[in-house]
Amino acid sequence: MARSKSSNAWMQEHVHDHYVHMAQKDGYRARAAYKLLEINEKDKLIRPGTVLADLGSAPCSWSQVAARIVGDKGKVFALDILPMPPIADVSFIQGDFREQEVLDEFVTLLGGRQLDLVISDMAPNISGMSAIDQARSFLLCELALEFARDHLKVGGSFLVKVFQGSDFQPYLQAMRELFSEVVTRKPKASRDRSSEIYLLGKGRR
- Please identify every residue annotated as catalytic: 161
Cβ neighbours, 10 Å, residue 128: 7
CA angle 125, 62, 52 (to 5 degrees): 110
DSSP H or E stretch at residue 62: helix 61-70
140, 56 Cβ separation under 8 angstroms? yes
- C-alpha 151/C-alpha 114 separation (Å) is 6
Instruction: Give the N- to C-terminal CA distance of the chain in Å, as an integer.
Output: 53
Distance in angstroms (rounded) separating the CA atoms of residues 205 and 200: 14
CA distance 172 to 162: 10
The answer to whether the beta carbons of residues 201 and 177 sit under 8 Å apart is no
